[in-house]
Amino acid sequence: MIEERVKQLIERYNEVSKKLSDPEVVSNPGEYKKVAKEHKHLAPIAEKGAEYLKTLEQLREDREILKEGDPELRAIVKEEIEELEEKEKQLQQELKVMLLPKDPNDDKNAVVEIRAGTGGEEAAIFAADLFRMYSKYAEKKGWKLEVLSSNETGIGGYKEIIFSLSGDSVYEAMKFESGVHRVQRVPITETSGRIHTSAASVAVLPEAEEIDIEIDPNDLRIDTYRASGHGGQHVNKVETAIRITHIPTGIVVTCQDEKSQYRNKMKAMKILRTRLLSLKQAEKEAELAEKRRSMISTGDRSVKIRTYNFPQGRVTDHRINLTLYKLNEILDGDLDELIDALRVAYTNEQIQQTETTA
């Protein structure tokens, strides 16, 4: 019952508040940071919960008054009860959202991998368009973007581009972008004016820190080689490019964008850690798959999630059947309306699942 859950959390909030002034906790930076984080998480729940409990108490008192015989007082109280019942419903809904289990990855930075799919050169150009879209979105959000690895084509496209995004709650905002993105337009390479359909896949992974994934150096095979350009010609005279193979999983990461071998190695290790964390989480998700199924994908890279239709100037997200006629704005990084709608749909789905299993 939500009332009992709220009471428990308010009690816990009060305990945590006392701990913040405990000399033993204050003198231990690691423990203090942990307690402060829990306090910050519980504070809005405790505030909203206290308002909810007060509303319930007022409702109980008013319902007791209704049992008395004064007609004039009963009429006033009856009107007040209607208002309080509406307030109770609203507060209960808000608390349901606040009490949902938090994704531990939401506060992490993200590594985004974009790969051209079906459609040849046009797919590579579309991959570049998606990279530009996310770059513009990151700029609006004040996030830092760093290209980790890229494989360009001759006319401004990307066969593959991998980049990191750093800032506040990056993964929480970007996690719904994983999947196949489809474009319908007349390619610049098309002379007859026919509309083509091309695709690119996007994978958004929570960036792994060293504390998340321990890598045994003995499990790695590291090769160096000379970086090459579009036509395969070597662009560096020294071996600055890095190829890292994680022997137990067979994951291979290459990086040649930097002129420094050390920088390429650091970037390659960041990608490797992130992919290993993703693999670890995928295994955990597989264990839970029978218990819960999510329509709003936050990680499936094989599902077609969105279509960008140039002739009609529209973008359609197939997971929530949302169509927006603002293609140019979205490609310029105006993604908030799309991402907010996905957040709402995902939250509602979680609430339904919680109520079903309760």
**pLDDT at residue 149, rounded to an integer:** 86
**pLDDT at residue 163, rounded to an integer:** 94
Alpha-carbon distance values, 76 to 81, 90, 157 (Å): 9, 22, 69
**pLDDT at residue 11, rounded to an integer:** 94
- What does the buried/exposed string (b/e) look like for 192-215 if buried means 16 or more CB atoms within 10 Å of the residue's CB? eeeebebbbbbbbbbbbeeeebeb
Provide CB contacts within 8 A for 141, sequence distance 6+: 167, 168, 170, 173
**pLDDT at residue 169, rounded to an integer:** 87
218 C-beta neighbours (distance < 10 Å), count? 7
- Asked if pLDDT for residue 222 goes beyond 50, the answer is yes
- Asked if pLDDT for residue 291 goes beyond 50, the answer is no
**pLDDT at residue 2, rounded to an integer:** 85
> Strands across the sheet with 179-185, in order?
144-152, 158-166, 110-116, 196-206, 179-185, 304-309, 314-317, 322-324
DSSP conformation letters of 205-236: EEPPPTTT----GGGEEEEEE--B-TTS-B--
186 C-beta neighbours (distance < 10 Å), count? 15
Alpha-carbon distance values, 177 to 64, 181, 185, 202, 288 (Å): 52, 9, 21, 7, 22
**pLDDT at residue 191, rounded to an integer:** 67
**pLDDT at residue 228, rounded to an integer:** 65
77-81 average pLDDT score: 89
Q: How confident is the model at residue 33 (pLDDT cuts 50, 70, 90)?
A: confident
272-283 average pLDDT score: 81
Say if CB 333 and CB 177 are below 8 A apart: no
**pLDDT at residue 288, rounded to an integer:** 44
109-129 average pLDDT score: 92
Quickly name the fold that domain 217-285 has.
Double Stranded RNA Binding Domain (3.30.160)
Closest CA to 177 of 308, 274, 299: 299
**pLDDT at residue 293, rounded to an integer:** 46
The burial class, CB within 10 Å (0-12 / 13-18 / 19+), for 174 is buried
153-168 average pLDDT score: 90
**pLDDT at residue 335, rounded to an integer:** 97
- Asked if pLDDT for residue 331 goes beyond 90, the answer is yes
pLDDT-wise least confident of 39-43, 67-71, 99-103, 288-292: 288-292
Measured CA to CA, the distance from residue 245 to residue 267 in angstroms comes to: 14
238-274 per-position pLDDT tens digit: 578 888 898 888 889 888 877 788 888 888 888 888 8
Q: How confident is the model at residue 295 (pLDDT cuts 50, 70, 90)?
A: very low
Say if CB 306 and CB 317 are below 8 A apart: yes
Q: What's the mean per-residue pLDDT of the chain?
A: 85
Number of H helices, E strands in the chain: 9, 11
- Spell out the domain ranges in the chain: 2-98, 110-209+292-351, 217-285
78-92 average pLDDT score: 92
**pLDDT at residue 10, rounded to an integer:** 95
Residue ranges of alpha helices (H) inside 21-145 are 23-26, 29-66, 71-98, 120-141
Measured CA to CA, the distance from residue 273 to residue 103 in angstroms comes to: 19
**Among 69-78, 184-193, 216-225, 295-304, the range of highest mean pLDDT:** 216-225
Number of residues written out for the chain: 358
- Asked if pLDDT for residue 290 goes beyond 50, the answer is no
Measured CA to CA, the distance from residue 273 to residue 219 in angstroms comes to: 13
40-57 average pLDDT score: 93
pTM comes to 0.68
Enter the CATH code of domain 2-98.
Answer: 1.20.58
Helix (H, G, I), strand (E, B) or coil at 291: coil
181-208 per-position pLDDT tens digit: 999 999 876 767 788 999 999 999 888 7
Q: Into which CATH architecture does domain 110-209+292-351 fall?
A: 2-Layer Sandwich (3.30)
Start-to-end CA span in the chain (Å): 9
Closest CA to 43 of 21, 22, 14: 14
11-36 average pLDDT score: 91
**pLDDT at residue 296, rounded to an integer:** 54
Measured CA to CA, the distance from residue 97 to residue 88 in angstroms comes to: 14
Q: What is the DSSP letter of 89?
A: H
Measured CA to CA, the distance from residue 264 to residue 282 in angstroms comes to: 27
How is residue 221 written in tokens?
Answer: 């095979």
